[in-house]
Structure 1
């Protein structure tokens, strides 16, 4: 029988295909098939078939190769049939190396590129912006740009939408794409057990304004065909992230696949080959106090004098920023909060709430949202950055203003708990979520550096942070959370017991801070130290402040059902009846100053120290890094339940002593509030600290300004001055509108901050951006 040789020449070029199948068929004889594999060194290969004389059909197929079908070949002896092959293939591309340009290098065929998302200077994997601001006029009130199915204007296109590209390449003799070939675009989860990736990312049909969603939250399918004629030589798609990593999206990643169907290779329903791009959503980073303040927010309420005093302090701060931005919850229209319910956006109402909050005063800016930002590689090579507030799971009046007014082109909003069944409670508030500056944890071998700081929040039994927010914070994998116990506080917020201020330390960028901690022990020590000289000094009263006014006409503060809570140092160190009371279900209960004192020094101080010890276990924190701030606390409400022996402050004292022999936050003990102004609950500006006036013991001294001074203010001011870093303490009276309602300046303000300058702090440009700063 004749030897029939088929000689094939693959084209010169760089393409990821090398294998073809050669088949000879005849109506009268058995089909014969052989395969050939090309290499760059051997682009011409031959296969010889021993076949009978007669009429044969030749078919050459292979993934990425244009098929050849040659019919009615008359074989009547040995012969050679030489063919030049054409390669035609489609590939998928993103900005894998994060330089602002889509990478046109062909990724790994039938695999994902990169295999794993990585970080550092050579990290790989496209970062997709979470497009949660509001650029265009084609979104509804309360909707962010990634909560509708269109590109929202040119600014949205330029800064909020990344690019994804399909390209067509060909090598060898010119050939058209066979009509039977098909393209399919698919998006899938990258993490096991995660919700469909189409709920986390949206792909648009182009990059022009109003380009529409083809895969995403409002598309039921996770795979969609693409017209080869429209794709042409290349087509660019827009892509945005609908949400940050969090519950049901713990990985923060997705895989986007281009499936190429060649029916002659694998049939009509199976891809002959595919390319997969491994992408991730940009991360959210909470701001810390070493970042420069760029804007400050406060409610416009019945707080005119406070706003005046705060505004004057802001005007004196370094690196001037905008004057106070006023929030107006009392006039903001009720605004729905959208959330994704399956494949549709619905209006969210928190569990147990009757509907949207009404237009009513609400001064707690900090509790409503958490200050932060998100950044990513921009399309033109610049770094894009957006201020993004995490909406806390708090259902109060300010949220209408947040979604109606604050949300705009420059400010994004993300609400992790929207759509969840998480319950509303005080522990969910933004005041219960704070951030350390950059810190380091030393181990027996090596160290762990937290260059963006660490989040810390209270989460225990009485005061808990909702599950959605906790999962969101953990999933960012940037600022590993530290969990504290705020059960002992009535409001249950960590900003009531500690905060960080800047400190000079040129030799150690991880110790350029001091931790301010509320300390009843220090408060009472100051009282004892001044009892002899200033026993009549009055606490909890506004002293005369006008120069020349020599009359000590104090105006005492009301507290807990009493008209005047003011008292002297001698009173606080005695055993008389305290002016303040705690609230039981059947009314107010009295106690003595001795009970209050012993409970503060041995109980409150201990629970605060326990929290400081948790911080010491989380990063390098020594006693020299801590500034004790004088604050006296009072019991507010009693916690039901039986106590155990370890719950008692003094083992030898019989029983609970009405709650005063039980550690705060435990069964039969109290949840508490600050009696004197809670100075750690301050606003940390650029070189000014805006501190709530403590109204500690006022010493009358007509030789100084204001005819006297506050011993608690003086103590903190001296400790801050000892840091030698030029911080100015501005003590502001916030008593009536904030302190009397269980909050202070930090609770009543919020801010935007510039990104932390990691290059300056750590001496290397890689630390400017989170994706290059992270290791691995």
Structure 2
């Protein structure tokens, strides 16, 4: 017998492997084996085998170690065989610290790097851009860059693609990678019950233009081999997110794994080691009214007076901005792609026969929601992309969105595409709004919403589609507030409230006022002016005013009448209202001004107040923060179903044909604004573009325009009292917008510059969402 000592020295260095297996085999004797474990303090290890003299083969193997195969060793007495080991393996890397450069530090072998995605100044985990604009000429009409399997041009690879790297790591004496070694790249969900991760992220074989997908939506497999010779010393891959977090992808995260195959260690199929990069898709953030407008959109309609008024108002802003006219009437039908299995198909919404046709469609706001996405740029700096959330609305403007609006500068993301979610009015962008930065105080501490909070209507009659709701919630940025807009015929939150800027240097969470529609305010103004101005006319263009060249009042149309004009005395009296509401045939639909008045003051005002109370429970909102805006509503349709006692405005009287039922309840009405709905305004940089209310017009030849509107004057005085320098531009939108159940806000949309969190909150960390968030 001989004492045969094997002495192994592992190289110095920071690498995640420390164990090898020594094997001595002979044709004539039993196999001898031993495992050795190295430590930084003990790089040299020995083991002495008691073996018979003869011919032996020595093998040394271990994950991450180059194997040693020494055959036909003649053992004839005690001997020592000293070997210097070589470490060679492949590691995976991403921009974990978000500085724009792929981190070359080796991650923890066998663990996620980082274990948890974190935010704040020291946050970790690569942020992957959702590449939903259209940079290159190699995408089809209607397709965003992340809806094909190529890198789309130089702009795309510079800004829309993040980087991954596989790097060959070696320590100790130079070694040749054995021919049997292999690498495999895998993408997996970070959360077990989410959909396959290759539906959410795409990895390209490089970062040059036209680099192709190796893992992603059009790749059936979620794991593929990577040629070691091609990888070489290092290989850079491009990666993009195909979608934002949302339905089936609530976490927005994935894990990307590099599997190292060493057959001598664990066989030809089982990885000897693996490295995992934990990544997250960039967030989508909805814009709020404290952000500077950079462009306004409106349909190119036949209403030239409105367009000219709007363009003039935009040009008069402090920091003016251009107006872009949307052209749905001439936009060609454009398919909307969605991922069906592993292929992109053309989407048709549930219940729709095909694509919308080319036709006029003035509702820019209802078609999409203004927002943006941002992420750490390659090489440093911040990348930012204007991104409109496409609302689940199937109408003519959709063709223009995908044919023209989608471009290098503008991205589009459609949460409900490919789903069976139903189309309804509540899905529209006018039903999705955002507060400015707000704070919620608790008994102990506060919760700060530095990017504001989304609010939308969702109840029984008016609902927001499930996909959009899950998308908004999954961004985990602007925690949604859910309101009840069942009482509104169109069912949009912008019909009852909006936010305007206000000076408040001492509190960045209160630099706003909430404008709320208030029938009670409208009627109070009329009561206050009944004696002096009882003959002041509502719902009419004054003499010699834009749209009326005559010397008389020109009455405006409303449901059921070509002339809805009436005086303060009429509105405070008990005559018959000339309007009607849509009801079953043979049922009386006439009603009096007294019914209208009581229903507005006691019914509509109450349901609006209920929504304001929900806002008060969601963030710090007091009555001092609220501006009541005079608006009168009218019933439009009635909701079927039996009412309960609590549905009645007054429990002591009858249902009064629906006028003693709270709007939005069974047997009650869904309603629309009768006077111009002033809260449904466009909030510019230092101007408010407000729909003319056509409230009571007081003739007064001593002032400009030979008179004034009491409702306009009331709101303007309240805006002036804020002391924020906002100018009120009252614009006539009656014919093309109001008469079709919308206003200026409904008919416009915009892009806005990033919110300057550093200035607002006094710290540079609040400039970017990933450093602004806590934890």
Normalising by the smaller structure, the TM-score range is over 0.9
The count of corresponding residues between Structure 1 and Structure 2 is 773
How many angstroms does 1:585 deviate by? 2.5
Is the counterpart of residue 700 in structure 1 residue 699 in structure 2? yes
> SS of the counterpart of 1:376?
strand
How many angstroms does 1:550 deviate by? 12
> SS of the counterpart of 2:670?
strand
- In the alignment, the residues of structure 1 paired with residue 164 and residue 549 of structure 2 have an alpha-carbon distance, to the nearest angstrom, of 74
Is the counterpart of residue 202 in structure 1 residue 202 in structure 2? yes
TM-score (norm 2): 0.99
> SS of the counterpart of 2:612?
helix
Is the counterpart of residue 757 in structure 1 residue 749 in structure 2? no
CA offset digits 1:576-618 (Å, max 9, x no partner): 1012111112177110000000000000000000000000000
Within 5 A, what are the aligned runs for 1:349-368? 349-368=348-367
Counterpart residue number, 2:341: 342
Counterpart residue number, 1:462: 461
> SS of the counterpart of 2:30?
strand
How many angstroms does 1:157 deviate by? 0.5
TM-score (norm 1): 0.99
Counterpart residue number, 2:57: 57
- In the alignment, the residues of structure 2 paired with residue 725 and residue 161 of structure 1 have an alpha-carbon distance, to the nearest angstrom, of 41
Within 5 A, what are the aligned runs for 1:439-454? 439-454=438-453
- In the alignment, the residues of structure 2 paired with residue 552 and residue 647 of structure 1 have an alpha-carbon distance, to the nearest angstrom, of 47
Does the aligned pair in 1 maintain the 2:285–2:371 contact within 8 Å?
Answer: yes
Within 5 A, what are the aligned runs for 1:578-727? 578-586=577-585, 589-654=589-654, 656-727=655-726
> SS of the counterpart of 2:517?
strand
CA offset digits 1:224-277 (Å, max 9, x no partner): 100111100000000000000000111100000000000000000000000000
Counterpart residue number, 1:25: 25
Counterpart residue number, 2:435: 436
Does the aligned pair in 1 maintain the 2:100–2:377 contact within 8 Å?
Answer: yes
Does the aligned pair in 1 maintain the 2:518–2:605 contact within 8 Å?
Answer: yes
> SS of the counterpart of 1:516?
strand
- In the alignment, the residues of structure 2 paired with residue 575 and residue 192 of structure 1 have an alpha-carbon distance, to the nearest angstrom, of 65
Counterpart residue number, 1:77: 77
CA RMSD of aligned residues (A): 1.1
Q: Which moved more, 1:740-749 or 1:22-31?
A: 22-31
> SS of the counterpart of 2:770?
helix
Does the aligned pair in 2 maintain the 1:545–1:707 contact within 8 Å?
Answer: no
- In the alignment, the residues of structure 2 paired with residue 447 and residue 563 of structure 1 have an alpha-carbon distance, to the nearest angstrom, of 53
- In the alignment, the residues of structure 2 paired with residue 79 and residue 434 of structure 1 have an alpha-carbon distance, to the nearest angstrom, of 81
Does the aligned pair in 2 maintain the 1:286–1:455 contact within 8 Å?
Answer: yes
- In the alignment, the residues of structure 2 paired with residue 724 and residue 456 of structure 1 have an alpha-carbon distance, to the nearest angstrom, of 26
Does the aligned pair in 1 maintain the 2:560–2:578 contact within 8 Å?
Answer: no
Where structure 1 has 5 or more consecutive residues not aligned to the other structure, the ranges are none
> SS of the counterpart of 1:29?
coil
How many angstroms does 1:407 deviate by? 0.2
Does the aligned pair in 2 maintain the 1:550–1:702 contact within 8 Å?
Answer: no
- In the alignment, the residues of structure 1 paired with residue 533 and residue 580 of structure 2 have an alpha-carbon distance, to the nearest angstrom, of 26
> SS of the counterpart of 2:527?
helix
Does the aligned pair in 2 maintain the 1:201–1:216 contact within 8 Å?
Answer: yes
How many angstroms does 1:150 deviate by? 0.2
- In the alignment, the residues of structure 1 paired with residue 659 and residue 73 of structure 2 have an alpha-carbon distance, to the nearest angstrom, of 103
> SS of the counterpart of 2:444?
coil
Is the counterpart of residue 739 in structure 1 residue 708 in structure 2? no
Counterpart residue number, 1:96: 96
Does the aligned pair in 1 maintain the 2:7–2:46 contact within 8 Å?
Answer: yes
- In the alignment, the residues of structure 2 paired with residue 550 and residue 11 of structure 1 have an alpha-carbon distance, to the nearest angstrom, of 94
How many angstroms does 1:303 deviate by? 1.3
Does the aligned pair in 1 maintain the 2:544–2:551 contact within 8 Å?
Answer: no
Is the counterpart of residue 518 in structure 1 residue 517 in structure 2? yes
Q: Which moved more, 1:5-14 or 1:455-464?
A: 5-14
Counterpart residue number, 2:2: 2
- In the alignment, the residues of structure 2 paired with residue 755 and residue 444 of structure 1 have an alpha-carbon distance, to the nearest angstrom, of 33
Within 5 A, what are the aligned runs for 1:239-278? 239-278=239-278
CA offset digits 1:29-49 (Å, max 9, x no partner): 111111111112111110111
How many angstroms does 1:545 deviate by? 4.1
Q: Which moved more, 1:10-19 or 1:219-228?
A: 10-19
- In the alignment, the residues of structure 1 paired with residue 342 and residue 39 of structure 2 have an alpha-carbon distance, to the nearest angstrom, of 47
How many angstroms does 1:546 deviate by? 5.4
Counterpart residue number, 1:419: 418
- In the alignment, the residues of structure 2 paired with residue 339 and residue 545 of structure 1 have an alpha-carbon distance, to the nearest angstrom, of 53
Distance 1:571 1:262, change over 3 A: same
- In the alignment, the residues of structure 1 paired with residue 465 and residue 85 of structure 2 have an alpha-carbon distance, to the nearest angstrom, of 62
Does the aligned pair in 2 maintain the 1:330–1:359 contact within 8 Å?
Answer: yes
- In the alignment, the residues of structure 2 paired with residue 410 and residue 153 of structure 1 have an alpha-carbon distance, to the nearest angstrom, of 14
Counterpart residue number, 1:386: 385
How many angstroms does 1:562 deviate by? 1.0
How many angstroms does 1:375 deviate by? 0.2
CA offset digits 1:665-687 (Å, max 9, x no partner): 01000000000000000000000
How many angstroms does 1:192 deviate by? 2.3
- In the alignment, the residues of structure 2 paired with residue 31 and residue 607 of structure 1 have an alpha-carbon distance, to the nearest angstrom, of 85
> SS of the counterpart of 2:722?
coil
> SS of the counterpart of 2:498?
strand
- In the alignment, the residues of structure 2 paired with residue 765 and residue 415 of structure 1 have an alpha-carbon distance, to the nearest angstrom, of 32
> SS of the counterpart of 1:235?
strand
Counterpart residue number, 2:570: 571
Does the aligned pair in 1 maintain the 2:638–2:658 contact within 8 Å?
Answer: yes
